[in-house]
Structure 1
Amino acid sequence: MIRALTLALTLFASPALASEITVFAAASTGPALRQVAEAWEEETGNAATIAPAGSSVLARQIAQGAPADVFVSANVDWMDWLEERRLIVPGSRRVLMQNCLVLIAHGPAEIAPVSLTADYDVARHLAEGDRLAMALVDAVPAGIYGKQALTSLGQWEALASRVAQADNVRAALALVALGEAPVGIVYATDAAAEPRVHVLGTFPDSSHDPILYPGAVTAEAAAPAAAEDFLDYLSSDAGHAILESHGFGVPE
């Protein structure tokens, strides 16, 4: 009896097992969310695996049953798409961060950033055979925003046939960083993280939809409580400080 009681007390006193979550994250958020995950793990004892890719790819994978606990999208449309299919937990969705869209070029900056208006001809940077690097313009948020911006400035029709479309924004960034494309359209945070490119200019906010990153717990999350806690940490002062250090804007 005493031995059984001792065992029961030992089990009762044991610390709760740590939770492990998988975060499907828009490609542009990968480095920032990895740093957030490290801080969250140190504070909570839980563990988070960050799996970055294009938002469209990740949303479809979740719809097909991929084991994600949290989804962070680079636009509201793909989160809406999952919500319409009841694949995120009601009430868990919130805007986590925001971004800007920039035109980048390979190599070091030679002049100060210019104002990207309808009068600025993006095609001036493309010699014969050159391509403008963008994420997939009909599926990936960065590509969708880029197409919106060029359309708003009256330049999409002239550039459409000269676009090199990449699977995600980080792949588009790599094309310019490696010199395979002279210019590209990416997020400001991507440009800031890559020393082999420089910003030619920032597209006006009015030229495209607001670049907002919603996050939510998935309906099939294996560790929903830990997933919610991770989103809470992202929304905390500590989480905001990390996001801002990577160049993201955060909600008021």
Structure 2
Amino acid sequence: MGRTILITGATGQQGGATLRSLVEHNKSTSNPINLLALTRNATSDKAKPLSSLPNVKVIQGDLTKKDEIEKIFEDEKIDSVFSIQDNFQGNEVEQGTNLTEVAIKYNVKHFVYTGVDLAGQNPSLVPHFETKRQIEEHLIKNSSRIASQILISQGEKEEFKNQIINLSGDSHTVSEIIDTFKQVKQVDLVQDENVDIVPYLTIALATINGHGWEVNPESTQRLFPFVKDLKGWLETEFNPDFAAGGFGTMSNN
């Protein structure tokens, strides 16, 4: 019988992508992984389709309710956890630390937490960076009790055990990004200094400008060759409708 992995945020971008990747992995193995997709609402429009995926069981649970999460671990005999939390609920640290503590209590063998690169900031001035830093700090303090790895976004080999791994598909200056958009999508990016953005994002961008992220695309490619660089992402996944609603304007030649 295959091992069991709990994936939090299963209806979100990172949790959903992780779930889909493991579903694909199961197609090529004779010992498929049992996948538990954790969501706050198992009857939501996003959650319902997940139950039709092979070897996927949708589980409803609230990470702020520790006893509820313990019941899931008691019933399901979980081997591994993919941990990501929703910052917009306002209780991200509680969610993350609850999950870590329950995983330790039930002797989970493998724990992956996904956060952000803090560029050496302790504490971070960006609220949704700081919450992730606190969760990461809690996990590190308990890392001797669990085989953990922290995936900083942007297999279970021994080299991953108790490691913080910065993921980066590419590294560019702003001018290089503009040139790549022009080359791949024939799009001119136009800077708009008067763009109206929410205050917390202003703080985040100012912090990033002052504390550059510590990235190593070559290391990422060695460990995870499927990670795309900017050019590859533009060619396969870029959504112009989404981007046009962001922080600048675009025009086709």
TM tier, smaller:
0.3 to 0.5
TM-score (structure 2 length as normaliser): 0.35
* TM-score normalised by length of structure 1: 0.36
Which of structures 1 and 2 has the bigger CA Rg? Answer: 1
Answer 1 or 2: higher relative contact order, Cα 8 Å, separation at least 6.
1
